[in-house]
Structure 1
Amino acid sequence: MENFVVSARKYRPATFRSVVGQQHVTTTLQNAIASQHLAQAFLFCGPRGVGKTTCARILAKTINCEFVEEHVRKGRSVAELVAAGRQDIIPDSVLNSPTPDAPTELEACGKCSSCRAFQENASFNVHELDAASNNSVEDIRSLVEQVRYAPQQGRFKVYIIDEVHMLSNAAFNAFLKTLEEPPGYAIFILATTERHKIIPTILSRCQIFDFNRIRVEDIRGHLRYVATQEKIQAEDDALHLLAQKADGGLRDALSMFDQMVTFAGHDLSYKDVVQNLHILDYEYYFRLVDALLSENLSQTLLLLDEVMQNGFDLHNFVVGAAEHLRGLLVCKDPVTVQLLEVSEGIRQKYVQQAQAAPLAFLLSALNLVSQCDREFKQAKNQRLHVELTLMKLAYLNGAVQFARDLSGPAANGEAKKKSSAAAPPTPVATEGSLVATGTAEAPAAYVQAVAPTTRPLPPPTTTAAHAAPPTPAIVSGPADPQPIVPVESGVEELHDTPSIEDETADVPNPTRQFRDTQPHVEVGRPSFEGHEPAPGLPLPPVTRPSGPIQSKVPSLPSLSALKAKVAQQASTTKAAPTLDVEPTAVDGLPPVDAEVLHRVWNELKEERKAQERMSEYMVLNRPVQANERHVIELIVDNPVQVDQFNEFRAELLTELRRRTGYPRLTVQVGVAPQAQTARKLYTSSDKFEYLAEKFPMLHEMKQRLGLDTDF
């Protein structure tokens, strides 16, 4: 039995022409070989499976080819090589070319001894190193030792280091000198998938080539070539789906192709690929959009259940729905249809469905699905979260049309009045809100808003000719209550917003009036005394002025009127009879009983000590005394204790006033003055200056003897 070779190895490109999707790299390398401008170090960057190592091997093979040596470096034409009998080193593509002396592409011949040794993995001029397993300084030192020896055959020694980002920083630093100034026969080709992990000093010494992700069409074409070579019948949709699933990597596409051939045999169909790779088919999303456009909510929910029963992830379903809506939006314009990377048959389905879907529906639906995608991971019930989004989408088309019809008359200021019986079942949607409907197809609170400026308008006052049936009115103020309009269809009637220019001044609500008869004291409850109309008496009628609207701000009295009012109050105060009470010290406040104050203060202090609130205990552990204004002066040691006291000040004052019976007690905190301390002598200079102040002769002694203060 013959050993099986995977397609990624069997059909690995051997020439620059056969490299798929990296023409910008292969053309640059061919021109560098033809012009003999080869750099000393190359860095190939890009995602996995796009041809980095393949191009490195082709470059190493080509620069040591005997045809390149004779034709490029020695300048011998193809005719001269043929005359000299060297057809064995001329590539077949050059021999069969109409202009053999001026080949359009420079390729290795594949016939010379150097090319054959490379193809058999027996070349001594090409060294491959896996940096993932050889990432230490010793490995790089061994590589540097090898570079010292010149090649025995051929012109160049090529060192291909794969996954170079895995080298340690010490290994990178050990490699710098050799990479910057290698021998003339040494060329280094570094390959990596993570360029950002390579230190800048390495990047500055290399020519950097960025490999792109391979386009879907290029991968599909290469898969078609492999299928033809292997005599496999494959549908275009199946190959296109494999190319999409590969995400720009040709090696991944070939691996999946081998897996599909093993599963389906030599007849590969689109259904086989969908079944084996467990991919959400396009048909699911075409059926979903058809159900949404027809407002068939039941079919939409059944489709979601079918997706879950088949084992697909809900998040992948939401992401796929967003991609499908984006594809429909792209297909609305024939110019942008080319942006849709699908097969031709599926592209026609997209174009057909895009013609039936309104543009407003696609934009609003894409917004809702994107919001569902963002909030999916935070949802507790993820299935319900997706179902709510589908419910909104099911009635989105009607909501958009209703909002469009509503915005026209509302913009012109016309009244839009509809009776309850004639109200359409279409839900009203406003942005950021949910509007309930009463129909069976549109459950309540499931429609989200799509018209940013549409809002429900207040119901009008019912006239006598069209009076509604008597219903209990809810009275919320002195004004006459408005009857509630009965709603049968679930949609509130819409009317014009009344103009604010004809409004009269607002009348204050006379339901309750308060009058403060005592000075406000912090005792925990207000000292208000007021009156209120009796429950059985009707409220006085509210009249509105018939003339022009006056300003709500009352006019201020003049200065002379204020002076007259003050004089009148002073005379009234003098004429008032005096009360037979004992005068107090200040402002009518009785003096504070010092014994009661000290007892309560000690109780509060000891309670904090028992509760192990020692910082508060230390602040309160000092003598206190209240003055005639009921102010307690508390002297603390430092500003830190002031901050500590302010933290429990409110609690302390509440308990202090309650227990002592003096509601006007307050505490004023101050910091004790700091006593002047003696000067601290730390250094030798400080000690010398201190002694010199007492004995001035020390300065003269220091100058005469040339002494220093360090002792």
Structure 2
Amino acid sequence: MENFIVSARKYRPSSFQTVVGQQSITVTLKNAIKNAHLAHAYLFCGPRGVGKTSCARIFAKTINCSNVGSDFEACNECESCLSFNENRSYNIHELDAASNNSVDDIRTLIDQVRIPPQIGKYSVYIIDEVHMLSQQAFNAFLKTLEEPPAHAIFVLATTEKHKIIPTILSRCQIFDFSRIKVGDAVSHLKHIANTENINIDEEALNVIAQKADGAMRDALSIFDQIVSFSGKDISFENVIQNLNVLDYDYYFKMVDAFLQGKVTDVLILFNEIVEKGFDGHHFVAGLSSHIRDILVGKDAATLQLLEVSDSVKEKYTQQAKKCEVDFLYDALGILNECDIHYKSSQNQRLLIELTLIQLSQIIESKKKGLRLNLKSKKLLKIFVDGESIGSVKQVVTAVKASAQSTEVVSDPNNGYKAREKKDVVTISSSKSNFAPSVSIKQALKKGIPRNTPISKPKDKPATNGVEEVITGKEPITKEKIEAKLKEFIVSRGRSERVKLALGVIKPEVNGETDVVFQVSNPLQEDDVNSAVNEVKNYLRRELNNSNIEITVKITKAKLSKKVYTETDRFNYLCEKNPALGLLKQKLSLDFE
């Protein structure tokens, strides 16, 4: 029986051209060889299974090749290349830092570096998982790494660059390897399948590439596993069955049920998924990715971001036409909330089912003009006739804008009407104490959202569009000020705190027009100052004196010491009757 070699080893890259998905790095290394600009130390870092160690071995093989081709690839014919291919080369030394991470191991390496190569120009030392070296080993390695012999080149490889000390990083040329794209992985797997005479669907290759999560070695391992399970003919169903991956069709059916508001169908479909043994959290993550892919498929410019086969991409495009962008945004938000609270939930299945019910009601909620936030349960947007006119913040901002650009006047037929301001702002009405706001449609025509209703002061009579001018100078008294101030508090819809502050102030009259409001603390002073202009105008109008001025002052009252504890009470009584203190001292009394 012939020995089986796993695909990850059998099809390991042996030249720069066969390295998958790292073109920028391979081109840089080939140009360095071409121009004879070889550094003494390199650091290859990146995720697992993306070709770091393979590139290091190819680089070491190529720089020692005696017949480098015009494309700067190793010839595979000279003695150096042959010894490398047969794993008997003395020019290339591989060290696993995970098991050789002590100072003694580095000292052995330093002694070995002094020996020149027997064949070729360079001795290349490949240290894999270099981040596993101890702090002392790193420090012992620093000097040799910075100034090695002319024939020595170090290639360090790691998956955790952040664990390497900065002094090592500063002595190396750093190459960051990227994850293998799904398309590149599919192409490489397809090439291997053709070489091995294996029939496999492209959709199945896409699932394998996505499951590998950017690691080519993982993709080849999964490929071998599927071949062992299915033989030479591999279908999409074989792959999802062996890898326990949820079929795309479930997600497409689920979204169709959301759009139709069929809660029953959604729950039955989810129950079928659970009975097949799929984890609920993985289902939520997969559904989120599916909705994201639908959103990507709505625009031709972002369609290239879909890492699926052409047939599945067409399905996404068709379903994207049925989904509104607002629905997709809301669905992603709801699923994100479910993902966050999944691990802390006591009933995880119920949490997912509630999430699916919310997703099924998005369309219906929008028709009713509601859009709810899962956290605050408040309206995120304001709708009129089923159409969004903007967020609450935008509408509130529009109150000021529309109030400054329009005026509300009475109309004999309709009661009120809005018109553009000219010179003077005029608000008048003979039918109600509240003037209506500018309509939403009128505001939208101007590009301004509608404003909120503008309340008209209750105590100010209508002036038929002409502002009242106060010219009187009648004398004022403290009694008149107090009486009118009470009327002002009752007639105005102000906050309770301001009402309380205005109710406790002590007005004083200085001269004929100066009124002083005395308050007891800075907080009351701020509350009174917030309404002082309105109070001043009210008093001027009601008392027919246009010269009234108001000043707010804090009264510095002498604060008496508060008696709280038993000791305070006893000391207070001692001040009244000193004999108590003498009695306590003679009898050695104390507080319990």
- The TM-score normalised by the length of structure 2 is 0.67
Secondary structure of the corresponding residue to residue 205 of structure 1? coil
Aligned-residue offset at 1:430: 4.5
Q: Report which of the two structures shows the higher radius of gyration computed on alpha carbons.
A: 1
Match of residue 303 from structure 1: 269
1:501 aligned to which of 451, 455, 471: 455
Cα contact 1:431–1:453 (8 A) shared by 2? no
Secondary structure of the corresponding residue to residue 187 of structure 1? strand
Matched, 1:36 2:36: yes
Structure 1: 5+ residue stretches without partners? 69-90, 92-102, 404-427, 435-447, 456-496, 506-548, 561-615, 636-644, 646-651, 657-711
Rounded to whole Å, the distance in 1 between the matches of 2:255 and 2:125 is 55
Match of residue 379 from structure 1: 345
Q: In structure 2, do the counterparts of structure 1 residues 558 and 2 end up closer, same or farther at CA, with 3 Å as the change threshold?
A: closer
1:363 aligned to which of 325, 329, 334: 329
Cα contact 1:328–1:350 (8 A) shared by 2? yes
Rounded to whole Å, the distance in 2 between the matches of 1:117 and 1:246 is 33
Aligned-residue offset at 1:247: 0.7
Rounded to whole Å, the distance in 2 between the matches of 1:110 and 1:632 is 114
Rounded to whole Å, the distance in 2 between the matches of 1:324 and 1:450 is 27
> What is the letter of the counterpart of residue 452 of structure 1?
K
Rounded to whole Å, the distance in 2 between the matches of 1:17 and 1:631 is 105
Aligned-residue offset at 1:628: 6.4
Cα contact 1:43–1:208 (8 A) shared by 2? yes
Cα contact 1:227–1:234 (8 A) shared by 2? yes
Q: Which of the two has greater helix per residue?
A: 2
- The TM-score normalised by the length of structure 1 is 0.56
Cα contact 1:626–1:632 (8 A) shared by 2? no
623-632 or 380-389, larger mean C-alpha shift? 623-632
Cα contact 1:132–1:166 (8 A) shared by 2? yes
Match of residue 63 from structure 1: 63
Rounded to whole Å, the distance in 2 between the matches of 1:353 and 1:630 is 93
Aligned-residue offset at 1:364: 1.1
Match of residue 203 from structure 1: 169
Q: In structure 2, do the counterparts of structure 1 residues 292 and 551 end up closer, same or farther at CA, with 3 Å as the change threshold?
A: closer
Cα contact 1:264–1:272 (8 A) shared by 2? yes
Structure 2: 5+ residue stretches without partners? 385-450, 460-489, 494-498, 511-564, 583-589
Match of residue 470 from structure 2: none
Match of residue 323 from structure 1: 289
After TM superposition, the runs of 4+ consecutive aligned structure 1 residues lying more than 6 A away are 552-558, 622-625, 630-635
Secondary structure of the corresponding residue to residue 175 of structure 2? strand
Match of residue 49 from structure 1: 49
> What is the letter of the counterpart of residue 66 of structure 1?
S
Match of residue 185 from structure 2: 219
Matched, 1:314 2:280: yes
Cα contact 1:399–1:450 (8 A) shared by 2? no
Rounded to whole Å, the distance in 2 between the matches of 1:174 and 1:317 is 50
Rounded to whole Å, the distance in 1 between the matches of 2:92 and 2:375 is 68
Aligned-residue offset at 1:398: 1.6
Matched, 1:626 2:573: yes
Rounded to whole Å, the distance in 2 between the matches of 1:152 and 1:265 is 47
**Equivalent residues in 2 for 1:175-214 (5 A)?**
175-214=141-180
Q: Please list the CA deviations of residues 151-207 of structure 1 after superposition, one character each: whole Å capped at 9, or x if unmatched.
A: 122111111111111111111111111111111111111111111111111111111
Q: In structure 2, do the counterparts of structure 1 residues 498 and 323 end up closer, same or farther at CA, with 3 Å as the change threshold?
A: closer
Match of residue 586 from structure 2: none
Cα contact 1:46–1:210 (8 A) shared by 2? yes
Q: Please list the CA deviations of residues 275-297 of structure 1 after superposition, one character each: whole Å capped at 9, or x if unmatched.
A: 00001221111011011111100
Rounded to whole Å, the distance in 2 between the matches of 1:372 and 1:253 is 30
Match of residue 228 from structure 1: 194
Matched, 1:280 2:246: yes
Q: In structure 2, do the counterparts of structure 1 residues 389 and 112 end up closer, same or farther at CA, with 3 Å as the change threshold?
A: same
Q: Please list the CA deviations of residues 404-433 of structure 1 after superposition, one character each: whole Å capped at 9, or x if unmatched.
A: xxxxxxxxxxxxxxxxxxxxxxxx554469
Rounded to whole Å, the distance in 2 between the matches of 1:303 and 1:268 is 27
**Equivalent residues in 2 for 1:611-650 (5 A)?**
626-627=573-574
**Equivalent residues in 2 for 1:570-609 (5 A)?**
none
2:217 aligned to which of 251, 268, 288: 251
Match of residue 94 from structure 2: 128
Rounded to whole Å, the distance in 2 between the matches of 1:33 and 1:326 is 44
Match of residue 667 from structure 1: none
> What is the letter of the counterpart of residue 8 of structure 1?
A
Count residues in correspondence.
428
Match of residue 240 from structure 1: 206
Q: Please list the CA deviations of residues 357-413 of structure 1 after superposition, one character each: whole Å capped at 9, or x if unmatched.
A: 12211111111111111122222211111111111111111211221xxxxxxxxxx
Match of residue 11 from structure 1: 11
> What is the letter of the counterpart of residue 123 of structure 2?
K
Rounded to whole Å, the distance in 2 between the matches of 1:139 and 1:228 is 45
